[in-house]
Amino acid sequence: MSLDHRLTPEHEELRRTVERFAHDVVAPAIGELYEKHEFPYGIVAEMGRMGLFGLPFPEEYGGMGGDYLALGIALEELARVDSSVAITLEAGVSLGAMPVFRFGTEEQKRRWLPRLCSGEMLGAFGLTEPEGGSDAGGTRTTAVRDEAAGEWVINGSKCFITNAGTDITGLVTVTAVTGRTPEGKPLISSIIVPTGTPGFTVAPAYSKVGWNASDTRELSFDGVRVPLANLLGTEGRGYAQFLRILDEGRIAISALATGLAQGCVDESVKYAKQRHAFGRPIGDNQSIQFKIADMEMRAHMARVGWRDAASRLVRGEPFKKEAALAKLYSSTVAVDNAREATQIHGGYGFMNEYPVARMWRDSKILEIGEGTSEVQRMLIARELGLTG
């Protein structure tokens, strides 16, 4: 038996296509958009035309008929150049459209997925709450049945929600408590809330350390009414559904983190060849060579990790532990590589005109979003049979 970790011709063609797009379209424009905190509508529209938002979805719903490995490949190549663009795609697919695909009725899929897959519309994932953080099971948002009107009445708030307030955002899937078990435990359900619904308020965009060309908002729900048919999946299973979505999303975030780590290598190699000090390129210095070699090692092993987890998912095998391992490791090395790349660039690494400054600012959130590093360690320990 032999193991072959090479990409298929189709996956390699996708990788090269996205690589060219990232360098030819994203790179020239993103610096100015990032500094102005502007959402990259033009870039997102082009990604939609390329089919990137539909990569892992069946053609019958407007998708490209690909898989989660294909999505990860696209995310890695985008993040080698910019993470704001990459997280917009990641959240739009893994968090916006995937819940509808995984758990939606046929009617819900046909209503929402074609526009989500085309990139004409973005979806968002309303899980985190201001007082919840990593305790996503401590949901305080409520949804009460109004049987006479045939509607849910939703009250509560969500925070740190990506793609929630763009001009093309069409829906947010939110978790809300819809009842209690006989033992008094909350029944958490998932409900689709279209944007523009009365009582649904989107706050101004956050002022963030990084990801400045992506959209992140706080949301509030004050007597928001949506049809009972907007329930996504089974009532009371919303939390379990979202945990499944997060398991998958960690693979996507790992691919993104790997891209950032590799981008730090790319920029450092280029700079080390161009920058001269004491009469020769700084890349001639063994200390710089060793730094970059270690950065390349970390990026390579992160890539092995996320691709292994994605391959398990695609084959229908258990992947929870591998996704947590990949997310934990890749986010850690993204921060490490960003720090080293900034150091290699010296004073120029502190200037926003250089991509590594953007990568340094963008890296830290990868150890927090879609499950903190501490949560990943808890999941890994639990999968190893350690409880307590």
Q: Which CATH number characterizes residue 100's domain?
A: 1.10.540.10
What are residue 232's DSSP bridge partners? 190
Residue 266: phi and psi, rounded to 5, are -55, -50
Query: In angstroms, rounded to a whole number, what is the distance separating the alpha carbons of residues 348 and 213?
Result: 22
Say if 357 falls within a structural domain. yes
Query: In angstroms, rounded to a whole number, what is the distance separating the alpha carbons of residues 179 and 177?
Result: 6
Check whether residue 229 and residue 291 sit in a common domain: no
Which residue, 206, 236, 266, sits at the end of a domain?
Answer: 236
pTM for the full model? 0.95
Check whether residue 47 and residue 169 sit in a common domain: no
Say if 3 falls within a structural domain. no
Query: In angstroms, rounded to a whole number, what is the distance separating the alpha carbons of residues 132 and 134?
Result: 6
Check whether residue 111 and residue 151 sit in a common domain: no
Check whether residue 210 and residue 295 sit in a common domain: no
Check whether residue 250 and residue 351 sit in a common domain: yes
User: At 226, is the secondary structure helix, strand, or coil?
Assistant: strand
pLDDT in tens, 286-344: 999 999 999 999 999 999 999 999 999 999 999 999 999 999 999 999 999 999 999 99
Asked whether residue 172 carries a pLDDT value surpassing 50, the answer given is yes
Asked whether residue 1 carries a pLDDT value surpassing 50, the answer given is no
Q: Which CATH number characterizes residue 188's domain?
A: 2.40.110.10
Which residue, 208, 236, 264, sits at the end of a domain?
Answer: 236
Residue type, 40: P
Say if 2 falls within a structural domain. no
Check whether residue 174 and residue 245 sit in a common domain: no
Asked whether residue 267 carries a pLDDT value surpassing 80, the answer given is yes
Say if 388 falls within a structural domain. no
Asked whether residue 137 carries a pLDDT value surpassing 90, the answer given is no
Check whether residue 278 and residue 375 sit in a common domain: yes
Say if 133 falls within a structural domain. yes
Find the domain containing 219 and state its range: 124-236
Check whether residue 224 and residue 300 sit in a common domain: no
Check whether residue 129 and residue 179 sit in a common domain: yes
User: At 246, is the secondary structure helix, strand, or coil?
Assistant: helix
**Confidence label for 387 from pLDDT (cuts 50, 70 and 90):** confident
Check whether residue 272 and residue 292 sit in a common domain: yes
Query: In angstroms, rounded to a whole number, what is the distance separating the alpha carbons of residues 25 and 48?
Result: 14
Active site residue 370: yes
Which residue, 191, 206, 236, sits at the end of a domain?
Answer: 236
Q: Which CATH number characterizes residue 291's domain?
A: 1.20.140.10
Say if 209 falls within a structural domain. yes
Check whether residue 244 and residue 375 sit in a common domain: yes
> What b/e string do you get for 356-384 counting C-beta neighbours within 10 Å, with b at 16 or more?
bbbbbbbbebbbebbbbbebbeebbeeee
Q: List the structure tokens of 142.
A: 């409520």
Domains of the chain: total: 3
pLDDT at 138: 77
* 76, 370, 374, 383: the active-site residue: 370
Say if 1 falls within a structural domain. no
Check whether residue 244 and residue 379 sit in a common domain: yes
Q: Which helix (H) or strand (E) holds 329?
A: helix 320-345
Asked whether residue 194 carries a pLDDT value surpassing 90, the answer given is yes
